[in-house]
A and B are shown apart, each in its own frame.
Chain A
Amino acid sequence: MSQGLDGPHPEARNIPEGRRSPEGIRLDPQNGADHERHRTVISALVQHEPGVLSKVSGLVSRRQFNIESLTVGSTTNPETARITLVIEESPPGIRQVETQLEKLLPVISVRELDDDAVRRELVVLKVHGEEPDKVHAITEMYSGTVLDAGPRTITVEITGDEQKIDDAIDAFAQFGIREIARTGQTALARGEMWTTDAEEERYERT
């Protein structure tokens, strides 16, 4: 059996008392290191090429980021697409999502959107059609559209922020929801601000 090495036993050593948080932040009573998770929206302008969504989703799953939704669609420029991620992470985690995304080759620019960003989500839901008038009334109440109405089912579309969609789904539940298809959020920066850094130079007036 190996005898090992010489030197003071661990118990005889001066071991520092300081500690770090699981995020690797020094726990300093003055600064604190309390990082609550919160939901936020990240927009990524990417090259519109095969495999880009796979690369982004692969990164997300491999790094174990907590993703609520991920949507993708074309932009004014046929060479680019926009990916919108809703994530729930601590601020250091959000920075990591941004920098890791930026490292992917087809990703052009990334930004976490401000709280006042315009965010929308779409739900298409199919309810039982026994009470068409009531379904119609609820649909109007949520500024929705009836897409299909038959003797047994009615399919409607509601667009809005996440809270509105949640509320609408609750309201339609009284009729019995047969099926539901819900997109994730998609979003743009409000007003004249460009959503990510590279938008302006890649903008093509359509």
Chain B
Amino acid sequence: MSDHVSTVHTDEQTTTTTEAQSDEGASPVTNGAEAVVAALKNAGVEHLFGVQGGAIMPVYDALHAKQEQLRHVTMAHEQGAAHAADAYGQLTGEPGVCMATSGPGATNLTTGLADADMDSDPVIALTGQVPTDLVGHDAFQETDTVGVTRPVTKANYFASDAETVGDMVGEAYTLAREGRPGPTLVDLPKDVTNGTTDSVPVSPTTPEYHDIPETAAASAVENAVRALSNARKPLILSGGGVIKGDASEELRAFAIEHRIPVVTTMPGIGSFPEDHELALEWAGMHGTGYANMAISHCDCLLAIGTRFDDRLTGGIETFAPEAEIIHVDIDASEISKNVHADYPLIGDASRVIEQLQAAMDEEPAADQWREQCQTWKEAYPMTYATPEDEPLKPQFVVEAMDELTPEDTIVTTGVGQHQMWAAQYWTYTEPNTWISSHGLGTMGYGLPAAIGAKVAAPDRDVVCFDGDGSLLMTIQELSVAVREGLDITVIVLNNEAVGMVRQWQDAFFDRRRMASEYQWVPDFATLAEAFGAKGFTVREYEAVPDTLEAARAYDGPSVVDAFIDPEENVYPMVASGGNNAEFALSEDQL
């Protein structure tokens, strides 16, 4: 073990009492691992998701005495831990904590961190590392975790001594949630966590130069409001940042008072009630036809908390081509990154909407525009063919479950066709009811996310829609749901294929279905039973409501294997890089 370097802060730290949120206040610590746990406890952490292993053992040992306050959920795989922490972080607004050992443990976390990074979800990862004197020697289970995760974290740290490790964890925690949220990581060499220290972590701070803008400049707000008031075809684009910035209420009030139609991004689903007359639902590749028509024709787009992902914009040259763009974002580097902002407003979403609300005294004269939007809603209905006989249409299953569950039900999904149907055919009316993998598109996200969601919100219904291909990537987490007694319902929209890939092969590769159709898939109901969950199978329309209700009523994790029409595809669809207004309603329009 290498020697510890004492820092100038040592004395301050040992004498500073923390603003601990626990009843006991600051507990004494004897080593680095206890300092790590004390930092988490200071921050108010209640749950952790992780997998044990050699290099992280000291931290787990320090958790042993704190099991009552810090509940550890042992996951089956580190990727599951990261996704569970991600969903937990989204729902609580506080960073979800995931833990893994060095080497393969840490690399397994990486997909989940990349996912959280793309979707700006607050997560803190704690990874074990080989002792510092072995770092760089290709020691057993060694990986350069800081190097590997640098591009997929908001910030990451290598802990170098036991004296400062607690504060480092506190800083990483704070950074994960403040401003634009994101994942942070602290790599913890075993000698550091085993190292002697009595330094109790202080209340977490971040560097003073790392300031987060609160409100936008008054003159910029005035100019933006003038543009919006003068618009004849105004439109609000509400992104995931509205939900993360806890600004849904402000957004609703603003849109409804000024009668401005609202489209959302996919991460922004739930930020505006989809059953409101001003709602055009979500835009982009598989968004509604009316949302895409509105985006394409608006003359002023108030975009809040979105990074203009290419799945939203289609080809940049045709994105909202006649609109002046007002872009509200807390991250200045998002301004004009993908789409030029005519009126950039850098600040916290809810505060900036309040500023806009205060400055706006004239409603845009947009009667004709609102009427036009309604016309588009009628022209491009979200419907599906329901044949009398089987196979089932997946959209029907989604709608049926929506009818059975309360408004605040949390829907999680994997990635693929099922994800799009779950987004399209469920009516979302509240923020934090839609938890999915957007930016990274991680197959297998749904089940571990459902676990994190249920731990965060035990009183709410949690439904995971997954595809057979997507679920198979993380199905081992079902063992965790059973072990933890989590009442979640997994609905497999089973088409015995990687359906979205197959859809693209049909459309763009002359139907050469290479490696997208499964010759065989497991019997998911039996598999669920093998895991100790309750399994159901449904193939017929008549059986759907009762089966879903039985699965929902089962007190514990249940899996419904719903055999759907294997040839059903997702529409509307904007071809990759295409024009949003030219969305296809069927394959022959692509």
- Residues of A bordering B, CB below 8 Å: 1-10, 13-26, 33, 47, 50-51, 54-55, 58, 62, 92, 95-96, 99-100, 102-103, 105, 108-109, 198
Q: Is A15 within 8 A of B332, CB to CB?
A: no
Interface pairs (17), CB distance under 8 Å = A3-B385, A3-B586, A4-B569, A4-B571, A4-B585, A5-B383, A5-B572, A7-B381, A7-B585, A10-B581, A13-B293, A15-B581, A16-B581, A26-B324, A96-B336, A99-B333, A105-B155
SS class of chain B's interface: helix, strand, loop or mixed? loop
Chain A binder among B64-72, B312-320, B399-407, B485-493: B312-320
Known: A6-B381, A24-B316. A198 touches B336 (CB 8 A): no
Q: Is A102 within 8 A of B319, CB to CB?
A: no
Q: Does B354 contact A (CB under 8 A)?
A: no
Residue of A nearest to B585 (CB): A5
Q: Is B379 within 8 A of A26, CB to CB?
A: no
Q: Does B513 contact A (CB under 8 A)?
A: no
Known: A20-B321, A92-B340. A103 touches B296 (CB 8 A): no
Assembly CA distance A33 to B316 (angstroms): 14
Q: Is B340 within 8 A of A16, CB to CB?
A: no
Contact partners of B579 in chain A: CB under 8 A:
15
Chain A binder among B143-151, B162-170, B240-248, B257-265: B143-151
Contact partners of A15 in chain B: CB under 8 A:
296, 579, 581-582
Least CB distance from B305 to A in Å reads 16
Least CB distance from B203 to A in Å reads 19
Q: Does B209 contact A (CB under 8 A)?
A: yes
Residue of A nearest to B323 (CB): A26
Q: Does B210 contact A (CB under 8 A)?
A: yes
Q: Does B382 contact A (CB under 8 A)?
A: yes
Residue of B nearest to A22 (CB): B316
Chain B stretch 536-590: residues in CB contact (< 8 A) with chain A? 565, 567-569, 571-572, 579, 581-587, 589
Contact partners of B366 in chain A: CB under 8 A:
none
Q: Does B481 contact A (CB under 8 A)?
A: no
Q: Is B581 within 8 A of A24, CB to CB?
A: no
Least CB distance from B377 to A in Å reads 11
Least CB distance from A48 to B in Å reads 13
Contact partners of A198 in chain B: CB under 8 A:
209
Q: Is B147 within 8 A of A95, CB to CB?
A: no
User: B236-258 vs A: 1/0 string, CB under 8 Å?
Assistant: 00000000000000000000000
Known: A5-B383, A5-B571. A21 touches B335 (CB 8 A): no
Q: Does B482 contact A (CB under 8 A)?
A: no
Q: Is B568 within 8 A of A2, CB to CB?
A: yes
Q: Beyond A2-B571, A51-B158: 5 further Cβ-contacts under 8 Å? A: A2-B565, A7-B381, A13-B581, A19-B318, A24-B319
Contact partners of A20 in chain B: CB under 8 A:
316-319, 321, 339-340
Assembly CA distance A152 to B237 (angstroms): 70
Residue of B nearest to A10 (CB): B582
Assembly CA distance A96 to B344 (angstroms): 14
Known: A4-B585, A8-B379, A20-B318. A96 touches B337 (CB 8 A): yes
Least CB distance from B286 to A in Å reads 11
Known: A22-B316, A24-B316. A7 touches B379 (CB 8 A): yes
Contact partners of A103 in chain B: CB under 8 A:
331-333
Assembly CA distance A54 to B158 (angstroms): 14
Contact partners of A7 in chain B: CB under 8 A:
289, 379-381, 585
Least CB distance from B326 to A in Å reads 13
Known: A2-B568, A16-B321. A105 touches B332 (CB 8 A): no
Assembly CA distance A50 to B228 (angstroms): 47
Q: Does B109 contact A (CB under 8 A)?
A: no
Residue of A nearest to B155 (CB): A105
Contact partners of B209 in chain A: CB under 8 A:
108-109, 198
Residue of B nearest to A33 (CB): B340
Out of B333, B383, B587, name the residue touching A96 (CB < 8 Å): B333
Assembly CA distance A102 to B335 (angstroms): 13
Assembly CA distance A16 to B296 (angstroms): 7
Q: Is A5 within 8 A of B586, CB to CB?
A: yes
Known: A25-B340, A26-B324. A10 touches B333 (CB 8 A): no
Q: Does B338 contact A (CB under 8 A)?
A: yes
Residue of B nearest to A50 (CB): B158
Least CB distance from B501 to A in Å reads 16
Contact partners of B146 in chain A: CB under 8 A:
51
Contact partners of A102 in chain B: CB under 8 A:
332-333
Contact partners of B308 in chain A: CB under 8 A:
24
Chain B stretch 335-393: residues in CB contact (< 8 A) with chain A? 335-340, 342, 379-385
Q: Does B136 contact A (CB under 8 A)?
A: no
Contact partners of A17 in chain B: CB under 8 A:
321
Residue of A nearest to B179 (CB): A103
Residue of A nearest to B297 (CB): A16
Assembly CA distance A2 to B319 (angstroms): 28
Residue of B nearest to A45 (CB): B209
Contact partners of B589 in chain A: CB under 8 A:
4, 9-10
- A-B pairs, top 7 by smallest CB distance, nearest first, are A4-B586, A18-B321, A24-B339, A99-B333, A18-B322, A7-B380, A25-B340
Least CB distance from B549 to A in Å reads 28
Contact partners of B98 in chain A: CB under 8 A:
none
Q: Is A105 within 8 A of B210, CB to CB?
A: yes
Contact partners of A54 in chain B: CB under 8 A:
147, 150
